[in-house]
Chains A and B, each alone.
Chain A
Amino acid sequence: MYQYDVIDREFLTDRSNEFRHQVTRRLAGELTEDQFKPLRLMNGLYLQLHAYMLRVAIPYGSLNSRQARRLAWVARTYDKGYGHMTTRQNIQFNWIKLKDAPDILDALAEVDLHAIQTSGNCIRNTTADPYAGATAEEIDDPRVWSEVIRQWSTLHPEFSYLPRKFKIAITGALTDRAAVKVHDIGLILRRARDGSLGFEVIVGGGQGRTPYVGPTIKQHLPASSLLSYLEAVLRVYNRHGRRDNIYKARIKILVAALGADEFGRQVEEEWAKIDQGRADLGDLELARIRGAFAQTPFEALPARSEAFEAAKAASPALARFARNNVKAHKKPGYAIVEVSLKAVGQTPGDATADQLDVAADLAERYSLDDLRVTHAQNLVLPHVKLDDLPAVHAALEAAGLATPNIDLISDIIACPGLDYCALANARAIPIAQDIAKTFADPDRAEKIGELKIKISGCINACGHHHVAHIGILGVDKKGEEFYQLSLGGSGAEDASIGKILGPALAADRVAPAIDTLVDTYLAARQGEERFLDTYRRVGLEPFKEAVYAQAD
C-alpha cells in the first residue's frame, strides 16, 4: 500500500492548521456562516438535520488496520459509536460538533487520513475497484493511477472552484465494480494491440436529476499522458461548464449539449496546446508510486485448501458465506472476502466502532494489513488465505459481519435519507430494512440470485437508484413520503439507466411491490438469468402489470 512520506504528512498538518484557524475565526464570529460554509465543505464538514456531518476521505477505498482503528476511535469518541460507508468509498460521521472538528482532523492526520475535498465544487476523492491488486482480471492496478490523481487533484490551484463537484473513478478490470460509466470521468485501464498501457476515457456520465451513461471520448489514452489529458478535460469544463444553474452545472450537461464528438474535439485541441512534459508525472515518481503497491508478500500456496474444504463440508453457514462473499484471488491459495454491512435490520453501510475494530484486526492478522471499502457500502478483506477462511468467518460471525448476501437482494445501497440529510424528501433506511426483512430467508435470496436494489431519498441520487436493477427514489407528495420504482438500471460494465415503473407508492407498499417484482421475474426467468437479464429480455410491461394490477 502507498505510505505517506514526510511531504504528504506536512501537507496534512498545514491543512489541519488552516482549518483550525478558520474554525476559531468562525466561533469568534469573525467569519459569517456564509463565508465559512465553502471552507468547511472543502474539509468535508456538512451541516445536516441534527448535527454536523464529517465525511472522511478513504482514497480509492483503501485502509490499513491503524487507520480503521482510528476511525473506530473517532466513532466512539466524537460520534454515537458508528460510522456510515458512502457510495464513494468514504466514511461519514453523523453526530459531530463543530468545535471538535479540528481535533478530529488532527487525530486523523496522525494516521494519514483527512477530509480534504470530500465536498465542494472541486475534484472529489477518486474511487477505484475495491478488488484492486487482488483480482486476476486486472490489466493494471488502478490504485497506482488513483494515487497519481489524488496528489495531482489535492488543492489544485486552477480546479478548486469548478462549476460543480467532479468525480473520477478508475477500474483496471473488465468487471466494473467502480461504476466508471456514471462518473464525471471514468477511466478503464486497457492494453492496446501493441501491448501499451492506456485508458479508455469516459466523460459526462452521472446520476442526479439527469442521469447519463457517459460516452467514451478517447479509446486509448497513453497511460503516461493521464495528467495532461485530465488537465485538458478539466480546463474545457472550467471554462465552458454552466454556472447559471446549479442543476445544469455538472460536466455531463456540457458534454450532452456539445455532443461527445465536439466535446472530445475541444479536449484534443486544448490537450495539444498543453506542455505535456511539464504537466505529466515523471517516470521516477510514477515508479515510486507503483512500487508502493507492488510490495505485497504473497506466499506460494496450493490452489486448494483441505482445511477450508473440510470446514465448509461441516458448516452450512460457512459454505453459504463462501458461495456469496468469497471471490477468486489472483494468487493460488488466497481469496477476496467481502464483509457485508447489510445485516437484516441494520442501516445499510453502517459499521459500529467495535465492528471497525474487528475488521481492522482481521485485516492486520489475515489480509496483509489491507482493508477496503466498496461503493456498494461493504468492506473487503482483499488477501485472505483459504486456510484462514474458517477463522475469519467465525470472527466475522461473532461481530455480526458475516451476512452472506453480497450482490443479493438484501445487499441494498441506501443513502442516509431523511433520517439525517437536509436535502432528502423521504427516508431511505427504513425502506431498506423493510425489504431486507421481507427477503430474510437466505435460501430464497440465493435462489433469486444477483439483484441490486438501490435507494435514494431524493433526486440527487446519492443512493444510485438510476443504476439499480430495482431503483427506489423517495419523493414528497404533499408532505407524505412516496417511492418511485425504476427497473433495469446498472452501474456495472453493462451500464444503463433504469426506467420508471409507474406511479409512486406509499412506504408500506414498497416491500410488497418488490416481492411482486421478484415473483414476476422468477416466473419468467430462463435458465440462469439474473433479474436484470430477464427484465432486458421481457421489458417493463409484465412487471408493471403485476405491481399495479395488485393495487387496483
Chain B
Amino acid sequence: MPKLIKLAGPTGEQAAQWAENTFVHVADEDAIPEAGDVILSLARFQAEGDTLLSSNSRRVGVRIEPAEEVEALAYDLPRLSVVALAFPKYRDGRAYTSARLLRERLKYEGEVRAVGDVLQEQAGFMVRCGFDAFEPNDGATPEAWTKAANRFRHVYQRAVDARPIAADERAQAQAKEGAL
C-alpha cells in the first residue's frame, strides 16, 4: 500500500504528516475486496458504485485520469470520501485544473489525493490547487513535503488556498500606513 501524506491544521499553515492509508486502489481487472475502503476507476465506479455505497459501510473513492472530466462526478461527490487525481507523468498538468474545479466549482470538501508520478517539487502547486493528500513516489517525507509546500513566502494569484496574494498584502500594508 503506498505511503500517504496528508495536510493537517488550519488552512494556510498546514503541516504535512504521515497518515494511515485505509484505501486500496482496485484495478479494473481485479475483484473488489469483500470489505474495506476502495478507490475505483471512474468507469468502474459508474457501473458498480451505487451497489457498493448502499450495501455496506465502507468508504469509496474514485480515481480520475487526466483526460476524464471531474464534472462527471458532480452528482456523486457528497457520497465520495476520496477523489484521487492521477499524474501518469508529473509533467501532465491537467490534474491541477481538476483539483481546482472540484474545490471551487463543485464545492467538494472530501479528500483530494494526488496519485501516480507525485514529486515533492509539485507540493506547492498541488496544495494551492486544493490537494490535501499525497502518495509521493519520490520517497518524500512529510518534513520535506511541508518545506517544499511552504517555500515561497508570497504568491501572486488566487487559487483554492486562502493565502493572501501579493496585491492583498500590499493593500493591507497601505491600510496600516493610512491608519497610523
Contact = CB atoms under 8 A, between A and B. Distances in A.
Interface in A280-296: 281-282, 284-285, 288
B156 A152 contact: yes
A121 B167 contact: no
Interface residues of B, number: 34
B154 A7 contact: yes
A275 interface: yes
Contacts of B176: none
Contacts of B166: 7-8, 11, 151
Tell me the interface secondary structure of chain A in the complex.
helix
A548 interface: no
Given A5-B170, A282-B167, A285-B171, A157 B152 contact: no
Given A11-B154, A275-B104, A285-B170, A243 B128 contact: no
A273 B101 CA distance: 10
Nearest to B95: A161
Interface string A248-289: 000000000000000000000000010100110110110010
B159 interface: yes
A19 to B, nearest CB: 11
Given A158-B129, A243-B92, A278 B158 contact: yes
A24 B145 CA distance: 18
Contacts of A524: none
Contacts of A279: 158
Nearest to B150: A14
B91 A161 contact: yes
A239 B104 contact: no
A155 interface: yes
Interface in B140-180: 151-159, 166-167, 169-171, 174
A273 B107 CA distance: 13
B151 A273 contact: no
B152 A162 contact: no
B93 A159 contact: yes
Nearest to B93: A161
Contacts of B45: none
Given A285-B167, A285-B170, A285-B171, A155 B94 contact: no
A288 B124 CA distance: 28
A422 to B, nearest CB: 20
A273 B96 CA distance: 17
Nearest to A14: B152
Given A157-B96, A158-B100, A158-B129, A282 B156 contact: no
Contacts of B152: 11, 14-15, 155
B58 interface: no
A97 interface: no
Interface string B38-60: 00000000000000000000000
A273 B151 CA distance: 31
A38 interface: yes
A10 interface: yes
A10 B129 CA distance: 22
A152 B158 CA distance: 9
Contacts of A110: none
A14 B169 CA distance: 17
A10 B152 CA distance: 8
A169 to B, nearest CB: 20
Contacts of B22: none
A157 to B, nearest CB: 4
Given A10-B154, A11-B153, A285-B170, A155 B97 contact: no
A160 to B, nearest CB: 6
Contact of A157 (B105, B121, B125, B153): B125
Given A158-B93, A235-B97, 19 more contacts: A5-B170, A7-B169, A7-B170, A11-B152, A15-B152, A18-B151, A152-B157, A155-B155, A157-B155, A159-B93, A159-B96, A161-B90, A162-B93, A227-B157, A238-B94, A279-B158, A285-B170, A285-B171, A288-B170
13 contacts: A10-B153, A11-B152, A11-B154, A11-B166, A14-B154, A121-B93, A154-B156, A157-B128, A160-B96, A161-B91, A239-B94, A284-B174, A285-B167
Closest 10 CB pairs of A and B: A161-B93, A157-B128, A285-B167, A157-B125, A151-B156, A158-B96, A14-B152, A7-B166, A7-B154, A157-B159
